[in-house]
Structure formats: C-alpha cells, structure tokens
Amino acid sequence: MKLKIAIPAIIGVSGLGFLAFRRKSEASFQKEVNNLFAASPCISEKRYSAAQLEGLPEPVQRYFLACIKRRTIIP
C-alpha cells in the first residue's frame, strides 16, 4: 500500500524538478542570446565587401565571392 503512494510521489517530485530545471535553462539561454544581440553592432546599413572575407578559410571565401554580389546590403 505504501508503495502505491510512494511511486507516484517520487515521479511527481521528479517531474516538478525537471520542469524547474528546464525553465531555468530556457531563461538562462534566452538571457545569453539577448546579451549577444546587445553586444553585436547593428549591421543593417552595412554593405558586403570582399574585405570582410579576410581570415576565412579559402573554400568559404570562394563560396561568398561566387554567391554574393559586391555592395549587396546585408540584412
């Protein structure tokens, strides 16, 4: 009889613990995303140039040079 009460109680407490952990994790993740966006400069008025490719691997540079026209506005 005690086992019938103990098992659902353990499952319930575990479930509540999981939900609390998940909520805290989501809040922490959202806070970090907001911090990253706040630290990023606004690039809405910038235009693409080949100088932005410096330091990228050669295949990535070739890809962007082939796909993006110069002076394209970066959204």
CB 33 within 8 A of CB 64: no
| Cβ–Cβ < 8 Å for 48, 72 | yes
Contacts of 69 (CB under 8 A, 6+ apart): 48
Domain boundaries, the chain: 1-40, 42-75
Please say whether the beta carbons of 49 and 69 come within 8 A. no
Could you tell me the two tokens for 9? 């109680």
Q: How confident is the model at residue 58, as a pLDDT?
A: 93
Write down the mean pLDDT value for the chain: 78
pLDDT tens for residues 16-52?
Answer: 777 778 887 888 888 888 887 777 666 555 677 777 7
Task: Please indicate, yes or no, whether the overall pTM of this predicted structure exceeds 0.95.
Answer: no
Q: How far out from the chain centre does Cα 30 lie? A: 8
